[in-house]
Amino acid sequence: MRKIVLPLAAAATLLILSGCSSHNVTIAPKQPKKYEVLGKAEGSASGSLGVLGTAYYFIPMGLNSRTERAYDNALKSVPGATGLVNVTYQEDWLWWIIGTSKDVTIKGDAIREIKE
């Protein structure tokens, strides 16, 4: 019995520890060599994860694209902007009984590339 329990416990531990992992993600593309700053930009987007009880949320609703949508909204907040520099990322979570809402806010300096 002990010969079975130890490998199962080790496998369960490895499974649990490797279940949540991530890597660095670039939000703003590389800035051009020459640009002018147009002003402050800010954009937000939301996504939700639901349905059922707290431990069983499994239906993503606009969740995976919220960062890209927030970045696009920040660009649109300043006319003529082609990119952002000095970007900050903020994420807020809200529990709403049958799911969670994850709101992303992207802030930065809006820029426009200067072509030579």
Give the list of residues 6+ apart from residue 82 with CB closer than 8 angstroms, or none: 75, 111, 112, 113
CA distance 73 to 87: 13
- pLDDT score recorded for residue 26: 74
Domains of the chain: 24-113 (3.30.110)
Q: What is the pLDDT of residues 12-57, one digit of tens each?
A: 776 666 555 556 667 778 888 999 999 999 999 998 887 655 555 5
Q: How confident is the model at residue 71 (pLDDT cuts 50, 70, 90)?
A: very high
Q: Is the pTM of this model over 0.85?
A: no
**Which H or E run includes 38?**
strand 35-50
